[in-house]
Structure 1
Amino acid sequence: MKTSLIPTFFAATSLLFASMSFAIDLDSAKDKGLVGEQTDGYLGAVVNQPDVLALINEVNVKRKNKYNQLAAKNNLTLEQVEKLAAKKAYEKTASGHYVLVNGNWVKK
């Protein structure tokens, strides 16, 4: 009976540590040069890693929901809000963080 629990223990432990190692926050990702602002108002991957892609997806879902709310509230299209948000994000991007310029990631 003890031997049947060992593989389960190792599997559960591996999953726990895997999820912990993939956890990253937006500020850290920007500081480390893993993500950057795109011209469409959304976050993009400078470095293609599973934890980075998960973060980008999470942030972009929240952004799109907010953009849709703003569009409805201000009688604008989603595309108009995305363009305005991209412009604002580029302006607010800190020095040393990445922005997408002509299809290339560039440090601001």
Structure 2
Amino acid sequence: MRWLALILAATLSWSVWALDLQQAKQQGLIGERQNGLVGAVQSTPQVNAIVNDINRKRLENYQDIARRTGTSLTVVQSRAGQLNIERTPSGQYVQLADGSWLRK
């Protein structure tokens, strides 16, 4: 459970670039994936740049959490994905297990 607190702290500490992410999510351009990463709902060079930047930072955080807690990266990503999807507001996109996007 300690790693759960670390995941929450890590996801809340991304405020430096959260505005770009939040704007893109509100516009339906980016959605949350089950693996704790984000994906492009509508792919453009700008959207892909945001997705790549966010995912690089998230993976660094997830790897750090996995190392510190002795948990596998897959487990950390899966739990983060669940939390991020649960916290996604109505009207924003989440990716289903089959890869399709659903507006929550």
TM range (shorter): 0.7 to 0.9
Query: For the residues of structure 1 that align with 2:86 and 2:40, how far apart are their CA atoms?
Result: 19
Match of 2:47, SS state, is helix
TM-score, length-normalised on structure 1? Answer: 0.76
What stretches of structure 1 move > 4 A for 4+ residues in a row? none
Structure 1 residues 50-106: Cα deviation after superposition (integer angstroms, max 9, x where no partner): 000000000000000000010011110110100010000011101100000132110
Query: For the residues of structure 2 that align with 1:103 and 1:52, how far apart are their CA atoms?
Result: 18
Q: What is aligned with 1:19? A: none
Query: For the residues of structure 2 that align with 1:90 and 1:26, how far apart are their CA atoms?
Result: 14
Computing the radius of gyration from Cα coordinates, the structure with the larger value is 1
- The letter of the residue matching 1:103 is G
| Higher RCO, Cα 8 Å, sep 6+ | 2
Gaps of 5+ in 1: 1-23
Query: For the residues of structure 2 that align with 1:28 and 1:98, how far apart are their CA atoms?
Result: 13
User: How far is the alpha carbon of 1:28 from its aligned partner?
Assistant: 0.6
Query: For the residues of structure 2 that align with 1:90 and 1:28, how far apart are their CA atoms?
Result: 17
Gaps of 5+ in 2: 1-18
User: How far is the alpha carbon of 1:40 from its aligned partner?
Assistant: 1.1
1:107 aligns with 2:98: no
Query: For the residues of structure 1 that align with 2:46 and 2:20, how far apart are their CA atoms?
Result: 10
TM-score, length-normalised on structure 2? Answer: 0.79
* Identity percentage of aligned residues: 39
Q: What is aligned with 1:45? A: 40
Q: What is aligned with 1:74? A: 69
User: How far is the alpha carbon of 1:39 from its aligned partner?
Assistant: 1.3
Query: For the residues of structure 1 that align with 2:72 and 2:39, how far apart are their CA atoms?
Result: 22
